[in-house]
Structure 1
Amino acid sequence: MTVVNAPPVDTPGCRHQDAYAISAEFYDVLQGERDEVRVRSLYGDDVRRARVGVLDVGAGTGRITLMSLLESHVPVHAVEPARSMRTPLMTRLASLGAELTARVTVHPQALDEAALHGVADVAVCHNTVACLHPASRRALWPAVAEALVPTGVLLVQLPPARLPRHRTVHALPTRTVGRHEYGGRMVMSADMDRIRARFDYWVRGDGRVLRRYDETFWMWPASRAEMIAELEEEGFVALPERPDASVLAVRPARP
């Protein structure tokens, strides 16, 4: 998934049902291939070592869910409240054989509402916590702890450490599908204590722009030290830093 994954939320750990109404059409086309490589690099070794189950918190269109099914032999729980992202996730799973789909359960609600108890020894929050309001983010951790076995590990992709100093523009990859070319950009800027991330999408054909859309998401920055302190308050302890510093690994403090 991209560095932005959800709009502001009002309920702890929950996303609005119409989140990604626009981005869902473009996500896999523009960024899915790159993200597939990235999630395998970041989480593949942990998933292969899973012996109880894998929990994918904020599954999106299912890159981590699919990787977990292919790289492990354990049950996989995919938590995705947003219907627009859950639809491509279900389509992706429907293309798999019965042996794989028998191991995956998709939970169409927030993790605290799914009421999962001891179902996994590996939990992944990829591109999820950055877009949770700090209060909602802190409310997520007890539900993760409940879903993990005592010896489990939680892998969190960290949010941006600070607000951007200047407005920045990041071009998204372009992709040709038949007669049409898809592309876009992400524009990031500071807005009070939040980061405003606007995605601009376009579809071109016959030498002209056929369609344009934009969708805005919000992120709340937090440093690695702040995230460690927050998770320690919720009963986790940090594990040694990983080769990729964008991921924080923690485990329950008292197995």
Structure 2
Amino acid sequence: MTASAQHDAYAVSAEFYDILQAQEDETEVQRLYGHDVAKARLGVLDVGAGTGRVTVMSLLRSGADVHSVEPARAMRAALMTRLASLPAELRARVTVHPEKLDEAELRDVADVAICHNTIACLAPAARRALWPALAQALVPDGSLLLQLPPAHLPAQETVRVFAKQWVGQHEYGGRMVMSVEAGRIRTRCDYWVRGSAGGLREHTETFWLWPASRIEMISELAEHGFVLRPARDDPAVVAMTLVRR
């Protein structure tokens, strides 16, 4: 992926992401990471911050500094807009990094790191480049909470329809269609806006996801000093501790 393509990723989806998925995602973020974030003392690292659900939750649930990493310009614009609405004392604790983590050169800035809805979007080489950068950014005994990618390719095409939402007189809707192509998961997001007279706009954006098993993730991270923490309630998240670098 070129630098231009990377920065322009989510140019379509950024408009629709919060309105169609915000409530469900915010509930999940609180449930999956809130307990660990509340224990952060040095800092929280949000890798692949998107529109800022984990970042804002971290500011509210802890008194620690927050490092928010988001290289996609469209998502970062939504993130900055969300941060601009916060009180100045909260904004003073968050730093937004507009590059990939392995380019940001962060060292010993956090005792809690979160990768939410991120790892599946990375090709294997990019994923493996993330692990040493995470180890560098965390302090020893720091915690990593990582939402796992799909473990395998889907057996057949699947469709997820987003619940319709109203903004004034306009109805927003969409769906996500996942299929297999060239050993990857092709994820096509279709969005539409409708008014009283019918359709107003339609947009489509396609992403690629790379499956990897839980065992693969644990093994790759172990090479960079991470060890598995006791089992969590949600099997979709792996929790690890940095014990060495």
Distance in structure 2 (CA, Å) of the matches to 1:253 and 1:150: 6
Counterpart residue type for residue 126 of structure 1: H
Structure 2 counterpart SS, 1:211: strand
Residue 193 of structure 1 corresponds to: 183
Structure 1 counterpart SS, 2:125: helix
Structure 2 counterpart SS, 1:140: helix
Residue 202 of structure 1 corresponds to: 192
- Per the normalisation by structure 2, the TM-score is 0.97
Compare relative contact order (CA 8 Å, sep 6+) and give the higher one, 1 or 2.
Answer: 1
Counterpart residue type for residue 35 of structure 2: D
Distance in structure 2 (CA, Å) of the matches to 1:67 and 1:207: 39
Counterpart residue type for residue 185 of structure 2: I
**Change in CA separation of 1:161 and 1:57 when aligned onto 2, cut-off 3 Å:** same
Does the 8 A contact of 1:121 with 1:149 survive in 2?
Answer: yes
Residue 111 of structure 1 corresponds to: 101
Residue 58 of structure 2 corresponds to: 68
Residue 216 of structure 1 corresponds to: 206
Say if 2:130 is the partner of 1:170.
Answer: no
- Map 1:113-132 onto structure 2 (within 5 A): 113-132=103-122
- Map 1:30-179 onto structure 2 (within 5 A): 30-179=20-169
Counterpart residue type for residue 65 of structure 2: P
Distance in structure 1 (CA, Å) of the matches to 2:83 and 2:2: 29
Does the 8 A contact of 1:15 with 1:81 survive in 2?
Answer: no
Structure 2 counterpart SS, 1:174: strand
Query: Shift in Å at residue 207 of structure 1?
Result: 3.7
Query: Shift in Å at residue 238 of structure 1?
Result: 1.2
Counterpart residue type for residue 152 of structure 1: G
Does the 8 A contact of 1:120 with 1:152 survive in 2?
Answer: yes
Structure 1 counterpart SS, 2:20: helix
- Map 1:230-245 onto structure 2 (within 5 A): 230-245=220-235
Structure 1 counterpart SS, 2:163: coil
Query: Shift in Å at residue 254 of structure 1?
Result: 2.7
Query: Shift in Å at residue 253 of structure 1?
Result: 3.1
Identity fraction in percent: 64
Distance in structure 1 (CA, Å) of the matches to 2:213 and 2:100: 25
Distance in structure 2 (CA, Å) of the matches to 1:131 and 1:93: 24
Deviations 1:204-244 (A, max 9, x none): 10141111111000011011111111111222111112100
Structure 2 counterpart SS, 1:17: helix
Query: Shift in Å at residue 251 of structure 1?
Result: 1.4
Does the 8 A contact of 2:224 with 2:244 survive in 1?
Answer: no
Does the 8 A contact of 1:198 with 1:217 survive in 2?
Answer: yes
Distance in structure 1 (CA, Å) of the matches to 2:83 and 2:123: 30
Distance in structure 2 (CA, Å) of the matches to 1:75 and 1:207: 48
Counterpart residue type for residue 23 of structure 1: S
**Large movers: runs of 4+ above 3 Å:** none
Does the 8 A contact of 1:52 with 1:74 survive in 2?
Answer: yes
- Per the normalisation by structure 1, the TM-score is 0.93
The alignment's C-alpha RMSD in Å is: 1.4
